[in-house]
Amino acid sequence: MAAAPPPLHLVIFPYMAQGHTFPLLDISKAFAIRGLKVVIITTPSNAPFIVSETSNHPNISLSIIPFPRVPELPEGCENTADLPSMALLSTFIEAIKKMKQPFEGVLRDMIANGHPPICVISDFFLSWTLDSCRSFGIPRIVSHGMGVLPMAICLSLDLISLKTKPSTYLDPLELPNLKLPFTLHKADIPESLLDFDLNDPFTGIIVEAMEADINSWGVLVNSFEELEGDHVGAFESFYFNNAKAYCLGPLFLYNKLRQEVEAEKVQIQSYSYIKWLDKQTGPNGSVVIYVSFGTQAHMSDDQLNEIAFGLEMAEHPFIWVVRSRTWVVPEGWKERVKEKGLVLRDWVDQRSILSHLAIGGFLSHCGWNSILESISMGVPLLAWPILGISDQGLNAKYIVSGWGAGLMMPHRGDGGEKIMTVGRDVICESVNELMGDGKGRKAREMAQALGKMARRAVEKGGSSDKKLDQLIDQLSNKNGKS
């Protein structure tokens, strides 16, 4: 009897930010369950979290390399969540480039030990890994953490001449090679991509990353064909060397090990906020609105106050994750809402909240992970994009005008400019509209339909499941294995 072939190995290198790391940990587990050996590259401070997420998978191992010491960054700052200010983001990304030599050392050791990786999956911001992969003849697959259409729109912006770029926020954009399911305006575009400053260090980082991106072997996309298949061909047209986009998501829905599922159930049931949600589930169905704006959005104390009073006025039960450590709850407010509201300041398991039967809506900044998690659970969104430097505005437009799975929080003036502080009346009215009948009910029905599609995509024989098998087969054959 012939000996079984040795297992295939691959390397996954996440960018040190939770929103970028989570999807790559999810796909690591999917590869591991299929029998591949996965090596995740990380740094000392990030390692404990990754171990906590992957310890049940013997096919996943970590290779820990040092984070470069940079005078401008605080000691021990190895994740964007630890940055004292987002003004240091460019410094952080530039520092990561100094990890190139130890990264190449990992690849060299794997090859010397007879386990050459069939590919390296690395984050968009780790553009320098392309040169390293090329020097070893290893395919590099880039991971963005964005959807197909938002990525295609960002790539299209390079093709617009400066003369035809819109001057006002409400001017429409016509993008070459893209058929959009909605009218796009300047206000929907990340500010850093449309009105970029060539002297800005972050602009240089983006340009460098995009060049490495379009020259990579392929693109891993946390999405699924039923949601975005119509845009995949246009997106792939921006890439060289016939690179393909692999829609493998929603990555967090892939089957997990049985013991992992059981352990998660026990853990989730112990969370205080899940116990609180259990008490909210009643004959009126999904009545709670979940409020969270991610880990990097900054809101003024005035805006947080308006949210607080707006939620109180709406009179719907709510669970609100507040990231600000300095915000002081308005006097008397907590006492007034104690029967209906739960305010949390620490980390929460967002997926367990969104999957709870009591949740009927999600007031969100519209990061791509949050969007996928919400629609996969059949929960409609109240879209409130906060940051102007990311894809949130595009995602919000996509949800509301493209899919019809959410409503938009009014956050712009008549001229399309951002409103500095959205008032409590607007927040109250928008929450009630999402949680009520009419537009809210239609958005809820659409989100539930998309949720069914999302879950089918990752099941055996689903579009994402088959695409993952196809990717493994192509990489295996490229490396001379059957």
So which residues are the catalytic ones?
20, 123
CA-based radius of gyration for the chain: 22
Selection from 165, 150, 239 nearest residue 196 by Cα:
165
The packing angle between helices 148-156 and 225-236, to 10°, is 20
Rounded-to-integer distance, Cα 317 and Cα 414, Å? 32
Distances (CA, A) of 259 to 55, 338, 463: 11, 37, 26
Selection from 166, 220, 229 nearest residue 193 by Cα:
166
Distances (CA, A) of 328 to 289, 308, 466: 22, 11, 50
Selection from 24, 231, 60 nearest residue 148 by Cα:
231
CB 79 within 8 A of CB 86: no
Rounded-to-integer distance, Cα 235 and Cα 12, Å? 23
- Phi and psi, residue 271, nearest 5°: -70, 135
Question: Taking CA 188 as the corner, what is the angle to CA 183 and CA 189, rounded to the nearest 5 degrees?
Answer: 115
For residues 307, 312, 314, 320, the Cα torsion angle rounded to the nearest 10 degrees is 60
